[in-house]
Structure 1
Amino acid sequence: MVDRPAHQRDRPAPAKQRTRVLYVSPLKALGVDVERNLRSPLVGITQTARRLGTEPPEVTVGVRSGDTPSSDRQKLLRQPPDILITTPESLYLMLTSQARETLVNVDTVIVDEVHAVASTKRGAHLAVSLERLDDLLDKPVQRIGLSATVRPPEEVARFLGGRAPVTIIAPPAQKTFDLRVVVPVDDMAELGAPPVGADASDAPANGSIWPHVEERVVDLIEEHRSTIVFANSRRLAERLTARLNEIHEERVLAAAAPASAAEGDALVPAGVSPADDGLPVARGRPQSPARTSAHAVAPQGTKRPPAQMIGASGQTGGGGSDTAVPVLARAHHGSVSKDQRAIIEDDLKSGRLRCVVATSSLELGIDMGEVDLVVQVEAPPSVASGLQRVGRAGHQVGEISRGVLFPKHRADLVNSAVTVERMVSGQIESISVPANPSTSWRSTPSLPGRSTPSTSSTGSTWFDAAPRSAACPARRSTPRSTW
């Protein structure tokens, strides 16, 4: 990606048409990660060239996505980078605006994690955008698709190349996975029953598996250096993050209570509140300062709402009542702002943050540093998704990717077991390119001020460009009025 722009300086292009490589990422976080990983070697190349007394290559990198501010988009128009990282939607918007002039010298398009879009209408729209990009150029670009979880590769190659021939490069590679399915209770059929040998009063009153899952997840986070916990929804990710922080804070403050007692503070007897107002407190565990006020202590037998429960605001505090206790986990998903996502990712990579609870926002190909464990709460949506998520741990050559799956009920246990078995054997789901997804085409003219599907801004008709893509094989027998 870096080598080609650096060696094409002998073919100077106008300042506003210097972009040579277009990198298309289906995930905004992945694009930001690629930009960060590109800038580091570019700095090293520049320093080495200066040390050797040669002129360093001036290779610039830029990002355009839905998170890019308007001022930065205008700057990309005035000073296009050599390597532009973008998303399928932003590429379409560029092709239907003045920004298309910055792409007239592109010779390479890289579609990363191509499996994530090949079988969707989003991918069908991208396929047409790639054909429209070719209409801008003197000759078609070289398209490169990257994926570690693709099946069958011939179908994805057809999506990537359309009518053009495609070479499939699939070298043998061995990746070792250490996967476990953990059920944190003795019997999932009787969640209200106490563990074997335990007092009946210790049994959870609501018969939920979530308190057990939450406690066990905190155990795993505290046992490892860096952990990513994946959830299948944003709501669950937020509530699970809050509960993990609460449990961690309770443990830290409870462990500090004996030290305070040794310095002269009296321990609070079990069942008595510090205000001596008759409010009972939780039994069987040391009481932390954050839980021993008259307002913070729940009546005996009252259980905090589990992470899965939908409740009103304030039911889950999320820790933070004691500023001396560092936050254990933070949530990462598409609704988190761009700046906050960047801070969370950097904190996890640098080791300042022990855990991130994420959805699919951290699933695809992102290098999250030395993550040594991935926890999946509920069975992953697919085998390919499970491989991508667990692959965030041990994301280096030769490293072992370790993952723990927590099913939430008996049917989910079966799904988790089957998914793990197929992950180990590499039996990824087969994908197919959608044929003639008319809803994708009909959504195109809904953008005011853009060129319509019938006529592209390059002078060629969209009706002629679409059939070159794999997503529109029936165009020859379909009248123009249908489109």
Structure 2
Amino acid sequence: MTLPPRFRDWFSARGWQVHPHQQDMLARKDDPALLLIAPTGGGKTLAGFLPTLVELADGGHEGLHTLYISPLKALAADIRRNLSTPVEEMGLPIRIEDRTGDTSYTVKRRQRADPPHILLTTPESLALMTSYEDAPRIFAGLKRVVVDEIHALAESKRGDQLMLALARLEALRPGLRRVGLSATVEDPPALSRFLARHPDPCAILQADPGPAPDIQMLQVDTPPPWSGGGGAYAIPEVLDQIRRHRITLIFHNTRAQAEIFFHNLWMANEEGLPIGIHHGSLDRQQRERVEKAMVQGRLRAVVCTGSLDLGIDWGDVDLVIQVGAPKNVKRLVQRIGRANHRYNAPSKALLVPANRFEVVECVAALEAVKENDLDGDPRGPGPRDVLCQQILIAACAGPIDADALYAEVTTAGPYAGLSRAAFDDCLDFVATGGYALRGYDQWQRLKQRPDGAWQLRDPRASQLIRMNIGTIQDSDTLKVRMKRGGGRALGEVEEGFAASLTPGDTFLIGGRIVRYEGLREMTVEVSRDPGRKPKVAVFSGTKFATSTQLSHRILRMFRQDSWPELPAHTADWLTLQREVSRLPEPGRLLVESFPHDGRQHLVVYGFAGRNAMQTLGLLLTKRMEEMGLAPLGFVATDYATLIWGLDAVTDPAPLFDAEALRDGLEGWLAGNAVMKRTFRASANIAGLINRNTPQSRKSGRQATFSSDILYDTLHRYDPDHLLMRITREEAMRGLVDFGRIEEMLGRISGIDHLRLDRVTPLAAPLFLEVGKVPVEGEGRERLEEQEAERLMQAAGLA
């Protein structure tokens, strides 16, 4: 199909040419499923919508034609604004609306009665729409579904929920066409299988990737510190880059680090350059003010987190700075794409390692970007807690036939391998609560009719189910408001952090230092207090771990004879490590033991990521206790675990027996808070526990209390309950990341144990991780500096 004259004229009037991949998308508009991989700024969103606009250009279509699914509410609103331009300028008879959690109840009701031609929404809102009895009427005219930033959705349970919702739409509208859009895909065939209606194929269309990004390390006069994640040492150079560019995005891996950096940057900003901060814990209105100011060009820089990762066009951004090692090459490529958001214009980015080891990681990430070597772990099967929720959603829409629903579910890529027995387990749980809970009315949610169909036992339960649809697990947070001046909202902090505050304590939020005044009706009340050193709020959010592929690349770097690509201070550090001990190698596990400060220390260089190395520390100390080695504690980073105790380890090999480690993990998990936390998340998703009710929303403490009682009951009376099995699976690959430990054990052919007489250069920074927490008060920084200097001298580094 060629571009109609009206569209060609519109492109010409703007001085644009149709990109080849946009023309290809139009030519292949009838493909049942199509994955477009195009660079950021390459017009992939317009490519996804072009067939829709052409089909609707002459009018005549009644109701909903195309659904657009976005991982972000803000992205849906941004796409609506961008799509409105060609529609209005060409006078197309097309109505475009968005529907997210921010859409008013009145507008949602009208959209159900009179759907627009193009509806822009999120996975959660789509799942909710499919739960209504009139879903067949709402989606009666639906032709296409466009999933934007599909790689981001595929990495979480939101993607699994979306694929189940698309399977439901396919049952309502056979022949529905699917389009996935992405700029960063490490395994296109795997993502195409995720998107396709199983067993149908999904074609892959790859656009010209454009020029390579201009990405390098920021040159600084001061070497990075030996530990920490703030990047404060580079603030003079970062400020200089802000002066040289129109708009700079300064990405951080955590919200707390973003707050600290913004505060330090603002204190050094003597010129008063307009700089904002943006992350998910800030009040929505404050985030929107920053977004608007960016688009209007009124800000010179924004300190941010993953809240600005995805495809929104944030004004005239011409530089991205990543503070801290990116941990994941794919994420780095996504963030780089925020700069020079134009086709065939190279993105410009600078990396700022936060500490000495991150210099190595940043160089490894730079090489991976140049080689287009993206990372990502293989997807596992679709999680069953999400399937349980989907069964409840289907029941809200009307009676369900188990055979038909099973056939429908297994057309979703993540659930293509689901056995009928596993499906029936989920159906039984949804209907009765499972063996230990079937005697309680509140979990008797479905009943079977004489004709074999299943329906809600109480139709009024549909309200409660709909109120709890979704897979995003809110952390236990409390709102933060100013006590005076109208009680302006600032954002939120974690409940545990709020509980640690006493009146007069200060902390950072939104770049401000505020003073804690008290807790009123589950709201943290604060006042301004710019003069004192703040605590740092314990913000929720993802804690990234270095990817497996990036860890392997670092280990390969260590095999080099020298490192001309590294700054001299870091190359000298690695050289000294090789002289004093040795460097970790691929296929071998390096273990060092040495005395220090009257204690025996053991360092394991596993390179398995922070969660896995933390779990490894727990398991190894447990094994050491069983062997009578008297461990006293441990600390973990992405690359190593340091354990200290009273007795030296002479032979570490027995500590790493895979079967013993797994047995130790099972025993440790059984009554551990990690399991209870994982259980709470899965129980919320599966519908066993409801955070939202028509009366109120449970506080984090109330939800924890309810789920802990349920967990203890099932653990004691029904340990093989479906939710307990799901919890074990989730914990193993999530919070404790035991799969990374097994991957580590699988790749090593032997253990290199070196018994030394002093701290080694590579181990020295780990001791600074230990000392960060207990040192408080005015002298904290001075004591840390003194401790760092003493350790580096002991390791021969100063």
- TM (norm. structure 2) is 0.44
Residues matched between the structures, number: 376
Aligned-pair Cα RMSD in Å: 2.8
Equivalent position of 2:406 in the other structure:
463
Bigger relative contact order (CA 8 A; separation at least 6): 1
Between Structure 1 and Structure 2, the one with more strand by share is 2
Offset of residue 477 of structure 1: 5.0
What is the CA–CA distance in structure 1 between the aligned matches of 2:397 and 2:56, rounded to whole Å?
A: 36
Offset of residue 99 of structure 1: 6.5
Give the letter for the 2:66 counterpart.
V
- Cα gap change, 1:218 to 1:70, in 2 (>3 Å): farther
Render the CA deviation track for 1:278-317: whole Å, top value 9, x for unaligned: xxxxxxxxxxxxxxxxxxxxxxxxxxxxxxxxxxxxxxxx
Offset of residue 336 of structure 1: 3.5
Asked whether 1:220 is paired with 2:228, we answer no
> Is residue 467–residue 473 contact of structure 1 (8 Å, CA) maintained in 2?
yes
- Cα gap change, 1:392 to 1:130, in 2 (>3 Å): same
Question: What are the within-5 Å matches in structure 2 for residues 364-443 of structure 1?
Answer: 364-443=310-389
> Is residue 456–residue 462 contact of structure 1 (8 Å, CA) maintained in 2?
no
Asked whether 1:87 is paired with 2:122, we answer yes
Correspondence for 2:72 among 12, 15, 27: 27
Offset of residue 237 of structure 1: 2.3
> Is residue 71–residue 123 contact of structure 2 (8 Å, CA) maintained in 1?
yes
- Cα gap change, 1:113 to 1:431, in 2 (>3 Å): farther
Equivalent position of 2:83 in the other structure:
38
> Is residue 454–residue 461 contact of structure 1 (8 Å, CA) maintained in 2?
no
Equivalent position of 1:97 in the other structure:
132
- Cα gap change, 1:209 to 1:441, in 2 (>3 Å): closer
What is the CA–CA distance in structure 1 between the aligned matches of 2:166 and 2:90, rounded to whole Å?
A: 31
- Cα gap change, 1:147 to 1:211, in 2 (>3 Å): closer
What is the CA–CA distance in structure 2 between the aligned matches of 1:474 and 1:132, rounded to whole Å?
A: 17
SS of aligned partner of 2:216:
strand
Offset of residue 478 of structure 1: 2.7
- Cα gap change, 1:79 to 1:417, in 2 (>3 Å): same
Question: What are the within-5 Å matches in structure 2 for residues 58-457 of structure 1?
Answer: 58-97=93-132, 100=135, 101-137=137-173, 139-161=174-196, 162-182=198-218, 184-188=220-224, 210-248=231-269, 251-252=270-271, 325=272, 328-444=274-390, 450-452=393-395
Give the letter for the 1:89 counterpart.
E
Give the letter for the 1:467 counterpart.
T
Offset of residue 365 of structure 1: 1.9
Offset of residue 85 of structure 1: 0.8
What is the CA–CA distance in structure 1 between the aligned matches of 2:215 and 2:242, rounded to whole Å?
A: 16
Offset of residue 334 of structure 1: 2.5
Offset of residue 209 of structure 1: 6.8
> Is residue 179–residue 402 contact of structure 1 (8 Å, CA) maintained in 2?
yes
What is the CA–CA distance in structure 2 between the aligned matches of 1:190 and 1:471, rounded to whole Å?
A: 43
Give the letter for the 1:90 counterpart.
S
What is the CA–CA distance in structure 2 between the aligned matches of 1:456 and 1:363, rounded to whole Å?
A: 41
- Cα gap change, 1:63 to 1:409, in 2 (>3 Å): same
What is the CA–CA distance in structure 2 between the aligned matches of 1:44 and 1:208, rounded to whole Å?
A: 48
In terms of mean alpha carbon deviation, does 337-346 or 84-93 score higher?
Answer: 337-346
> Is residue 5–residue 21 contact of structure 1 (8 Å, CA) maintained in 2?
no
What is the CA–CA distance in structure 2 between the aligned matches of 1:459 and 1:445, rounded to whole Å?
A: 10
Offset of residue 174 of structure 1: 2.5
- Cα gap change, 1:436 to 1:456, in 2 (>3 Å): farther
Offset of residue 3 of structure 1: 5.1
Equivalent position of 2:418 in the other structure:
475
Give the letter for the 1:478 counterpart.
A
What is the CA–CA distance in structure 2 between the aligned matches of 1:40 and 1:86, rounded to whole Å?
A: 19
- Cα gap change, 1:32 to 1:336, in 2 (>3 Å): farther
Render the CA deviation track for 1:10-55: whole Å, top value 9, x for unaligned: 77455xxx11011111122222221121112222112xxxxxxxxx
What is the CA–CA distance in structure 2 between the aligned matches of 1:369 and 1:378, rounded to whole Å?
A: 24
> Is residue 96–residue 457 contact of structure 1 (8 Å, CA) maintained in 2?
no
> Is residue 226–residue 357 contact of structure 2 (8 Å, CA) maintained in 1?
no
- Cα gap change, 1:79 to 1:481, in 2 (>3 Å): closer
What is the CA–CA distance in structure 1 between the aligned matches of 2:325 and 2:134, rounded to whole Å?
A: 42
Give the letter for the 2:99 counterpart.
R
Offset of residue 395 of structure 1: 1.1
What percent identity do the matched residue pairs reach? 31
- Cα gap change, 1:351 to 1:157, in 2 (>3 Å): same
Render the CA deviation track for 1:328-351: whole Å, top value 9, x for unaligned: 222222334444433322211221
Asked whether 1:7 is paired with 2:43, we answer no
Between Structure 1 and Structure 2, the one with more helix by share is 2
Offset of residue 403 of structure 1: 0.5
- Cα gap change, 1:358 to 1:68, in 2 (>3 Å): farther
- TM (norm. structure 1) is 0.71
> Is residue 433–residue 470 contact of structure 1 (8 Å, CA) maintained in 2?
no
What is the CA–CA distance in structure 2 between the aligned matches of 1:417 and 1:123, rounded to whole Å?
A: 32
What is the CA–CA distance in structure 2 between the aligned matches of 1:359 and 1:395, rounded to whole Å?
A: 18
In terms of mean alpha carbon deviation, does 68-77 or 225-234 score higher?
Answer: 68-77
Give the letter for the 1:482 counterpart.
D
What is the CA–CA distance in structure 2 between the aligned matches of 1:127 and 1:454, rounded to whole Å?
A: 18
Give the letter for the 1:412 counterpart.
E
- Cα gap change, 1:225 to 1:189, in 2 (>3 Å): closer
Render the CA deviation track for 1:426-473: whole Å, top value 9, x for unaligned: 100144332142122234467xxx444997779984322111111113
Equivalent position of 1:320 in the other structure:
none
What is the CA–CA distance in structure 1 between the aligned matches of 2:117 and 2:201, rounded to whole Å?
A: 27
